[in-house]
Amino acid sequence: MASRPEPESGRAKQRAFAIGALPEGDDLSELRELLHTAGVATVGQLVQHREKPHPNLYLGPGKVDELKTLAKAADANVVAVDDELSPRQERNLERELDMPVIDRTAVILDIFAGHAHTAEGKLQVELAQLEYNMARMRGLWTHLERLGAGRGVGGIGTRGPGESQIETDRRLARDRITALRRRLDHVKANRAVQRAERERAHLPNVALAGYTNAGKSTLLNALTGATVGVRDRLFHTLDPTTRTLRLQGRTYLMTDTVGFIRKLPHQLVDAFAATLEETRLADLVLHVVDASEPEDELVAMTRAVDDVLEEIHAGSSPRVLVLNKADKLDEERRDELAFRHPDAVLVSAITGEGLDDLQERVAAEFERTLRDVELLVPYSEGGTLSDLHDVAGELERTDTPDGVLVTARLPAVIADRFGRYSVNGR
């Protein structure tokens, strides 16, 4: 993947004018951050207060006139919109402004495309992009360029081939979508096999979930000694990483995965189903938030994550709120957080503050459900015995003619996984 232009280094190729239709306030900082991550400079912004975007133009017609003047004056060459536009809104707005228009979804898709490294990640992003482009009768080249088969220099929002090409492209796109779906099904099956192996190891699965840039990867590294990439940019991690974690004599698995954002494009939720499944099937979800954000931001980000968790049906997994970046907080804010989120754990993945508490909390979440089990493990299953040692910490074993009789205390979810060896019915 070619490195992307940094907006700071000289004059950026793409100079965006950011716009938003918001019920109140004028905060487009997240869109600007997204654009920055995509290598696009923001040269101005305009907000219109409205309950809902205008159905034809996104902003009201008068506001669009104002925008036209402002964007020209700021020497912008693209207009970036803080929502996903309908194809009609996008077409109309481009015609009115005589300038390319990109929406929030296109920017996020572009970032994902730039950050996908594994074969699985690339397939998932390509599928999401194709589905997005299909709805817009856009040429295939937008994603082909990403794959290194580009037709010249583009950038987000630049247009592809003429109308005559589009029908052919649509047909090709449909074929490609079918092929991608098939390959992703295959990936998903592989992932299920891997997961089954991990489950056969009977270890508890802990997933790190949360808003993008909250510090999930940093936390995984701090807790498990992993070396997952960390950067101050959005959607740095797209591919899940799993590491083991030893706590009070028991072994756990911890998985870091893709971050969430407000208005997460549904094409991505769809395409990333295999990846998101890691979170859905976790025994415990650590919901990581950036506690250095102001309270209303923190609440909005937390809600956005909860919504996605609901959407992928991970809403019912036990969850612990982890307030990260404690090192950036003053005493007053610490007190406020303790008051507002009494069940949360305050940590700093950077300084290590609170990590002991977090580990204790993870262990406690499983220990709450500890059950005494008696298992009879046949001598032929030595692997199962060693798994039991990992997961139970302490256990008693007696050799019998039929196998090893083991008494141990196991978290409920784990006891269930050993169910077939049970001799005490638990």
Ligand X SMILES: Nc1nc2c(ncn2[C@@H]2O[C@H](COP(=O)(O)OP(=O)(O)OP(=O)(O)O)[C@@H](O)[C@H]2O)c(=O)[nH]1
Binding site for Mg ion (CB under 5 A): 217, 236-237
Q: Which residue has the tokens 């996903």?
A: 84
**Cβ at position 219, least distance to ligand X in Å:** 7
Which residue, 19 or 116, is less far from Mg ion as judged by CB?
Answer: 116
| Stretch of 15-23, 50-58, 307-315, 323-331 lying at the interface with ligand X (CB under 6 A) | 323-331
Q: Which of 48, 92, 237, 255 contacts ligand X by CB under 6 A? A: 237
- Residue closest to 40 by CA, chosen among 91, 77, 2, 84: 77
Those residues whose C-beta lies under 8 Å from the C-beta of residue 269, and which sit 6 or more positions away, are 276, 308, 311, 312
**Cβ at position 27, least distance to ligand X in Å:** 20
Q: Which of 324, 337, 365, 406 contacts ligand X by CB under 6 A? A: 324
Name the binder of 51 from ligand X, Mg ion, none, CB < 5-8 A by kind: none
Q: Which of 205, 212, 241, 255 contacts ligand X by CB under 6 A? A: 212
Binding mask 250-289 for ligand X (x = CB under 6 A): ---------x------------------------------
| Stretch of 59-67, 160-168, 216-224, 360-368 lying at the interface with ligand X (CB under 6 A) | 216-224
What residues pair up with 345 in beta bridges, in sequence order? 322
Please report whether residue 33 would count as binding ligand X according to CB under 6 A: no
Q: State whether residue 256 is helix, strand or coil.
A: strand
Q: What are phi and psi of 200, to 5 degrees?
A: -65, -30
Q: Which of 63, 122, 138, 236 contacts ligand X by CB under 6 A? A: 236
Which residue, 70 or 350, is less far from ligand X as judged by CB?
Answer: 350
Please report whether residue 48 would count as binding ligand X according to CB under 6 A: no
Q: Which of 42, 48, 77, 217 contacts ligand X by CB under 6 A? A: 217
Angle CA(315)–CA(123)–CA(81) in degrees, nearest 5? 70
Q: Which residue has the tokens 């756990």?
A: 252
Q: Check the CA dihedral 280-125-261-331 and report its sign.
A: positive
Angle CA(392)–CA(398)–CA(401) in degrees, nearest 5? 130
- Residue closest to 293 by CA, chosen among 262, 248, 251, 256: 262
Name the binder of 289 from Mg ion, ligand X, none, CB < 5-8 A by kind: none
Q: If you write DSSP's letter for every residue of 42-97 in order, what string do you get? A: EEEEEEEE-SS-BTTTBS-HHHHHHHHHHHHHTT-SEEEESSPPPHHHHHHHHHHH
Name the binder of 218 from Mg ion, ligand X, none, CB < 5-8 A by kind: ligand X
Binding mask 342-381 for ligand X (x = CB under 6 A): ------xxx-------------------------------
**What's the rounded Cα separation, in Å, for the pair 184 and 192?**
12
What residues pair up with 398 in beta bridges, in sequence order? 405
**Cβ at position 348, least distance to ligand X in Å:** 4
Q: If you write DSSP's letter for every residue of 389-425 in order, what string do you get? A: HHHHSSEEEEEETTEEEEEEEE-HHHHHHTGGGBSS-
Within 181-210, which residues bind ligand X (CB under 6 A)?
210
Tokens of residue 304, six digits = 């956005």
Name the binder of 232 from Mg ion, ligand X, none, CB < 5-8 A by kind: ligand X
**Cβ at position 229, least distance to Mg ion in Å:** 7
Please report whether residue 216 would count as binding ligand X according to CB under 6 A: yes
Helix then strand then coil, % of the chain, to nearest 5 = 45, 20, 35
Those residues whose C-beta lies under 8 Å from the C-beta of residue 83, and which sit 6 or more positions away, are 20, 21, 53, 58, 103, 104, 263
**Cβ at position 308, least distance to ligand X in Å:** 12
Tokens of residue 320, six digits = 């612990």
Those residues whose C-beta lies under 8 Å from the C-beta of residue 408, and which sit 6 or more positions away, are 372, 373, 375, 388, 392, 394, 395, 396
Please report whether residue 214 would count as binding ligand X according to CB under 6 A: yes
Please report whether residue 215 would count as binding ligand X according to CB under 6 A: yes
Which residue, 47 or 312, is less far from ligand X as judged by CB?
Answer: 312
Residue in the shown chain whose Cβ atom is closest to ligand X:
259
**What's the rounded Cα separation, in Å, for the pair 388 and 168?**
58
Name the binder of 102 from Mg ion, ligand X, none, CB < 5-8 A by kind: none
Please report whether residue 328 would count as binding ligand X according to CB under 6 A: yes
Q: Which of 101, 234, 286, 298 contacts ligand X by CB under 6 A? A: 234
Please report whether residue 235 would count as binding ligand X according to CB under 6 A: yes
Residues contributing to the site for ligand X (CB under 6 A): 210, 212-218, 230-232, 234-237, 259, 324-325, 327-328, 348-350
